[in-house]
Structure 1
Amino acid sequence: MMKLIKNILSVATVCALMFSMVGCLGSDKFAQEVEKEKGAVKLVREIQRGDYDIITTEELKGLQDKKEDMVIIDTMPYEASYKKEHVPGAKQFLFPIPDMIEWDVKETDGKTKEQFIEMLGPDKDKLIVIYCGFVKCTRSHNGAAWAKKLGYTNVKRYPGGIFAWKGAKYPVASVK
């Protein structure tokens, strides 16, 4: 009888430990969800402020495969990022990470608003896709918001950026 009670207590102890571990693991998942929510809300609020749309990795790749007429802008630094790897067909135009309320040539690597307009082209309804490195990077927000401020109507931010592009195992381009 004593042996049976010992066995039951051992099993109960193991079960209690397992349930407590599951509880710990579960609470970590809850914390991760809170972080995901913060990121999602931040992205939505940027989109609302900038009045542009978004595009997914698969949607962008699909448009490229269909040879859609569009302008793709990489807003990352030329030497540190764009030169090494970028979405094929993308042009580079640096934007800062903090909100760029007014045009500041120091923040755009010495480039002017007129140079940005020239890069985007004269067709204000043409599809423009603007990206940076990854979802948390706000360079693409600044680029998309400025395209909208300048009167372009079909502006999409690609929030996944080059990290999502590479994560989908799509080919990248570089400058030799």
Structure 2
Amino acid sequence: MLPLITRDELRNGIDAGTLVVVDTMPVAYYEQEHLPGAVNIPGFPYEQAAGFTDRYAPDVLPDKSAEIVVYCANVPCRNSEFVGARLRELGYANVREYREGIEDWVSAGLATTSG
């Protein structure tokens, strides 16, 4: 289980530029809407999450000591669990999960980006 981060902690970290945020939704969902500054490592289908992480992490997360936050759609969504666990296996030391996901972010009226 990954350590959790709250919405307020996440927002403060994004505003301060101290976090690397990883959207674990499939590419089409990421392109439609994601948290500001987030990079994408798809975590679905679950069976492919480790492979996607192995493929994309070296490019989008070059600093293994960075403060990383993974998220997906909502609490039932498990994409971020799979990607986050694989990142830890690959040696990323500081990975947390925003378990409530983008649905919580949007419902709080916070901005997202697309593209």
Taking structure 2 as the reference length, the TM-score comes to 0.89
Is the 2:43–2:52 Cα contact (8 Å) retained in structure 1? Answer: no
Is the 2:69–2:98 Cα contact (8 Å) retained in structure 1? Answer: yes
Unaligned runs of 5+ in 1: 1-46, 101-106
Aligned with 1:132 (options 32, 55, 72): 72
Q: How far off its partner does 1:112 sit?
A: 6.3
Unaligned runs of 5+ in 2: none
Point out which structure has higher relative CO (alpha carbons under 8 A, 6+ apart).
2
Residue 22 of structure 2: SS of its match in structure 1? strand
Is the 1:97–1:137 Cα contact (8 Å) retained in structure 2? Answer: no
Bigger radius of gyration, 1 or 2? 1
* Aligned counterpart, 1:78: 27
Structure 2 vs 1, CA of residues 60 and 128 (structure 1 numbering), >3 Å: closer, same or farther? same
Displaced runs of 4 or more, over 6 A: none
Q: How far off its partner does 1:150 sit?
A: 0.4
Matching of residue 56 in structure 1 with residue 6 in structure 2:
yes
Greater percentage in helix: 1
Aligned-pair identity (%): 35
Taking structure 1 as the reference length, the TM-score comes to 0.60
Q: Aligned pair count?
A: 114
| CA deviation string 1:40-97 (max 9, x = no partner) | xxxxxxx1xxxx31111111001112222x3211111111x11111101001111125
| CA deviation string 1:127-152 (max 9, x = no partner) | 01111000110000001101100011
